[in-house]
Amino acid sequence: MAPGAASARDTDWDGVRLHVVTGKGGTGKTTVASALALALAGEGRRVLLAEVEGRQGISQTFDVAPLASVEARIAHAAQGGEVFGLSVDAKAALLEYLHMYYKLGRAGGLLEKFGAIDFATTIAPGVRDVLLIGKVYEAVRRRKEHRAKGPGAAPAYDAVVLDAPPTGRVARFLNVNHEVADLARVGPIRSQADSITAMLRSPQTVVHVVTLLEEMPVQETVDAIAELRAVGMPVGGVVVNQVRATILAPKALKTAARSAISRKDVAAALTRVKVRATDAIVDGLLAEARDHAERVALEHDAAMVIEDLRRPIYRLPSLSDGVDANGIRELAEALVAQGMA
């Protein structure tokens, strides 16, 4: 990055304009995408956070009115930074696209009336994805002012964060070129797909994967990264979400794992501080310690698999009060502290 450019800090993803966030369902993909958008918006930047599945996950996370296919500001960040939200709708994107490139006028309405728009956005394979990413592509490339057009004009957004489909579908979603290749060998859809692909494969784009320290999400992360690489998409960082603190000291963990904690000692210590050391309580505490040790061991295995991916790793704590607008800010700060933004 040039000296004196927008960020005074060094981050791991300087120069990246489009951050795609994916992850297995239930890992907190939308939460992480939201936190990343807020983190990127620090230092007075403008960031767009887009979702493409119509789930309204972003508006629920930020506790704002449901997003429409028009960009709306959803949060303020440090030093005048702003996060805008957008729920990309394939139909709106197609009509906008047709209007922009073909000046359709009456034909647009007719297409709608004949069901052609529904057809193109629901069943024509690949077309839907091209439209959805196409809208994101347009937002990444958009310049600030119409009159200041040209290479000199500043981008409308300093960064765009895409809350993408889950790991199982993301490679296919991003690989739009392949999707339409068989269907449209030439023509405008094809050239649109080509420009999108060029941007997605450029250093301007990275795909981050969100996971938990559990077997299935980690396995899906490994699979998704392999698939993304196979289709030439730049893989970003791995965000380990909902990391819980290890409460027992390493030595105690080992003892607990062997079920070798002395009942008698624990009962004596409890009695000293006037906790009634009934069998139920002592055995219960020991069982909890053993379960905890088992889980820590599993999490350790999962963490090793993630390490082996050799990608930058970011860890977000498990929020005890659940994720709300304040929780998102806490997570955003954690991402900034770890250099993701």
Shortest Cβ 270–another protein spacing (Å): 6
Residue 158: name the closest of 74, 70, 43 by CA: 43
Report the DSSP pairing between strands 82-87 and 46-51.
parallel
Question: Dihedral of CA 56/71/79/6: which sign?
Answer: positive
Residue with smaller CB distance to another protein, 158 or 220: 220
Residue with smaller CB distance to another protein, 190 or 311: 190
Shortest Cβ 291–another protein spacing (Å): 4
Residue with smaller CB distance to another protein, 25 or 80: 25
CA atoms of 216 and 221, how far apart (whole Å): 9
Residue with smaller CB distance to another protein, 151 or 322: 322
- Alpha-carbon distance values, 147 to 39, 101, 143, 213, 240 (Å): 30, 19, 10, 50, 44
Shortest Cβ 115–another protein spacing (Å): 3
Shortest Cβ 329–another protein spacing (Å): 18
CA atoms of 112 and 115, how far apart (whole Å): 5
Residue with smaller CB distance to another protein, 274 or 310: 274
Shortest Cβ 226–another protein spacing (Å): 14
Residue with smaller CB distance to another protein, 196 or 341: 196
Sheet holding 72-76, edge to edge: 72-76, 82-87, 46-51, 159-163, 18-23, 205-211, 235-243, 313-317
Shortest Cβ 101–another protein spacing (Å): 9
Find where tokens 């887009």 sit: 50
Tokens of 323: 């994720």
Residue 18: name the closest of 200, 214, 169 by CA: 200
Task: Give 330's contacts (C-beta < 8 A, 6+ positions apart).
Answer: 317, 319
Shortest Cβ 28–another protein spacing (Å): 9
Residue with smaller CB distance to another protein, 167 or 338: 167
